[in-house]
Amino acid sequence: MNTRVLTGITTSGTPHLGNYAGAIRPAIQASRQPGVDAFFFLADYHALIKTTEDPARVARSRLEIAATWLAAGLDPEKVTFYRQSDIPEIPELCWLLTCVTPKGLMNRAHAYKASVDQNTAKGVDPDDGISMGLFSYPVLMAADILLFNAHKVPVGRDQIQHLEMARDIAQRFNHIYGDDYFVLPEVVIAEEVATLPGLDGRKMSKSYNNTIPLFEGGAKALRSAVMRIVTDSRQPGEAKDAENSHLYTLYRAFASAPESASFRQALEQGMGWGDAKQALCDLLERDLSAMRERYVELMAAPGRIEDILMAGADKARKQAVPFIARLRDAVGLRRLGGATGDKPAAGGKKAAARAPRFVSFRDDNGSFRFRLLAPDGEELLCSIAYADPKEAGAVMRRLQTETALLRAEGMAYSIVLDDAPVAHGPAAADARARDVALDRAREALQALTRAG
Ligand code: TRP
């Protein structure tokens, strides 16, 4: 089985060079490994935790971040790339998890505690300015991860505690509801990944206002930032301390080993800082200029990005929808008068009439088919055509004894045995209606397997 790797990107800013080298580039490389099933998503619900006063900023950031990842080479055919807010099963699961999460666990979350500490230091109410969104942030993050049963979650160090909480919450749910519903996710901290210094030598970060832009502003903005990198006052001709210059650290993050070695040597032999900056610009342009062109094209065609993200959401929901149905069932959110696990009352025509049922028929071409009908008579599935009635009967019986896979297919759905669809559901008006129908079909089959 493939390793499922999942990570989220909070959409609350414009990507800079540090984001690229530290997160985007390694994640895209990892997604190309064989045996990896990558799920990358825009954590736009998380963005609302920090940004409620600037909806335009949130909207812009979603676009910029999506365009950046695509321009940087993310292949949406290989990776499942989607927006958190297009997956209604995430907030749905978030609530199920919220109800098994001890409040005390959330009280210990670093992000929340830091805000409380700041308030205490200021002498204001400890919870001043703290929303329930910030407080419950780790539960939403657990839902992101657990809904897709991710095995590995690459994140920054600041997220380690959130991963521990996700495991803790998953374990509680599994324990309470008595099955291994959730995989326990493992945190992955990439040690070898570059943490780039910013213009002033501190970690490159929006909050220090020391970033080098990645694509925004074009080659001109990139160059003007590079020219502002702080260096010491050694003149051309004087030997430079390459190891301790952040200009060299930046260079190394984009150069091959031999290129880095000769750059270092040139600095030690007295290359001027101006020339060194020019060399860094050339190096960055070599790596980034083709991507920047793609970025500009994508930013000019937001409809194309929207289509890619909607296709990604479809792909993600193929897994999320059946899984959430199972979880709803686990916690007792079940349809009334049907699949409660109780057998229908003995005897009595009435009970039989209220149960879901299979009916066989011959179609206009003389082939043999069967239908699965809901308790109210609605058609949930219609089989493919069989020339041999015994074969149709055998498939019908298997559906009553085995757990077959139901899967969405456009606005319809089908049921699969031995990798081939054996029956199809009717097409619905939209995805939500299809999912409701698909749930009903699943419940009907479960009721029949239990009764059989
Ligand atoms: N909280 C993460 C961050 O700020 C982003 C994120 C949201 C995330 N949901 C996730 C990361 C799920 C990994 C998995 O970096």
Residue 251's region, left for phi above 0, alpha for psi from -120 to 50, else beta, is: alpha
Interval between CA 137 and ligand 1 midpoint (Å): 10
Query: Tell me: the pLDDT tens digits for 63-100?
Result: 999 999 999 999 999 999 999 999 999 999 999 999 99
Residues in Cβ contact with 278 at an 8 Å cutoff, skipping those fewer than 6 apart: none
**Choice from 48, 50, 82, 141 to test ligand 1 binding pocket (greatest atom count within 8 A of CB):** 141
Cα of 241 vs centre of ligand 1, distance in Å, is: 38
The ligand 1 atom nearest the CA atom of 46: 7
Residue 346 or residue 205, greater confidence: 205
Band of pLDDT at residue 238, cut at 50, 70 and 90: very high
Ligand 1 atom at shortest distance from the alpha carbon of 150: 14
* Angstrom distance (rounded) from CA 20 to CA 254: 11
Question: Do the Cβ atoms of 199 and 221 come closer than 8 Å?
Answer: no
Give the separation between CA 165 and CA 346, rounded to whole angstroms: 47
pLDDT of 452 reads 59
pLDDT at 375 over 90: no
**Res 281 pLDDT > 60:** yes
pLDDT value for 225: 96
Nearest residue by C-alpha to atom 8 in ligand 1: 8
What span, in angstroms and rounded, lies between the C-alpha atoms of 161 and 311?
32
Look up residue 94 and give its two tokens: 């978030």
| Residues ≥6 apart with Cβ < 8 Å to 321 | 89, 408, 435, 438
Q: 32-54 in b/e burial notation, b at 16+ Cβ within 10 A?
A: eeeebbbbbbbbbbbbbbbbeee
What's the pLDDT at 100?
97
Nearest ligand 1 atom to alpha carbon 156? 15
pLDDT of residue 237: 94
pLDDT at 307 > cutoff 90: yes
Amino acid at site 83? R
- Cα 357 to Cα 141: distance, rounded to the nearest angstrom: 41
Mean pLDDT of the chain: 91
Work out the pLDDT band at 341, boundaries 50, 70, 90.
very low
200 with 229: CB under 8 angstroms? no
Q: Calculate the dihedral angle through the C-alpha atoms of 142, 145, 151, 153, rounding to the nearest 10 degrees.
A: -90
Residue nearest atom 14 in ligand 1 by C-alpha distance? 7
274 phi, psi to nearest 5 deg: -60, -45
d(CA 310, CA 348): 48
pLDDT of residue 231 exceeding 70, the answer is yes
Cα 28 to ligand 1 centroid, rounded to whole Å: 16
| Average pLDDT value for residue range 195-210 | 91
Q: Per-residue DSSP letters for 157-173?
A: GGGHHHHHHHHHHHHHH
Distance CA 156, CA 205 (A): 13
Ligand 1, atom 6: closest residue by C-alpha:
8
What pLDDT does residue 345 have?
A: 41
Query: The tokens of 132 are what?
Result: 């329930």
Give the DSSP per-residue string, 217-275: THHHHHHHHHHT-----PPTTS---GGG-HHHHHHHTTS-HHHHHHHHHHHHTT--HHH
Which residue's CA is minimally distant from atom 11 of ligand 1? Answer: 8
Q: What is the mean pLDDT of residues 8-36?
A: 92
- Across the range 206-222, mean pLDDT stands at 94
Q: How confident is the model at residue 385 (pLDDT cuts 50, 70, 90)?
A: very high
CA distance 54 to 184: 36
Nearest to 315 by CA among 40, 29, 36: 40
Alpha-carbon dihedral of residues 115, 119, 209, 163, nearest 10 degrees?
Answer: -10
Q: Which atom of ligand 1 is nearest to the CA of 141?
A: 9
With the most atoms of ligand 1 within 8 angstroms of its CB, the residue from 9, 65, 81, 82 to mutate is 9
pLDDT at 447 over 50: yes
Residues in the chain: 452
Tally Cβ neighbours within 10 Å of residue 143.
Answer: 25
In this structure, are residues 127 and 116 in contact, taking their beta carbons and an 8 Å threshold? yes
What ranges make up the beta strands (E) of 315-451?
Answer: 357-362, 368-373, 379-383, 405-409, 412-417, 420-424
Q: Ligand 1 pocket: which of 62, 162, 189 to mutate (most atoms <8 Å of CB)?
A: 162
Phi-psi category of residue 413: left, alpha or beta, with phi > 0 → left and psi -120 to 50 → alpha = beta
Q: What is the pLDDT of residues 131-181, one digit of tens each?
A: 999 999 999 999 999 999 999 999 888 899 999 999 999 999 999 999 999
Q: Cite the DSSP H helix spans in 51-129.
A: 55-71, 89-98, 103-107, 110-122
Pocket of ligand 1 (CB under 6 A): 6-8, 10, 43, 46, 141, 144-145, 153, 155, 159
Determine how many CB atoms are found less than 10 A away from the CB of residue 365.
Answer: 8
Q: Report the pLDDT value the prediction gives residue 348, as an integer from 0 to 100.
A: 42
Q: Whose CA is nearest to atom 13 of ligand 1?
A: 7
Residue 186: CB atoms within 10 Å: 13
Residue 351 pLDDT grade (very low, low, confident, very high; cuts 50, 70, 90): very low
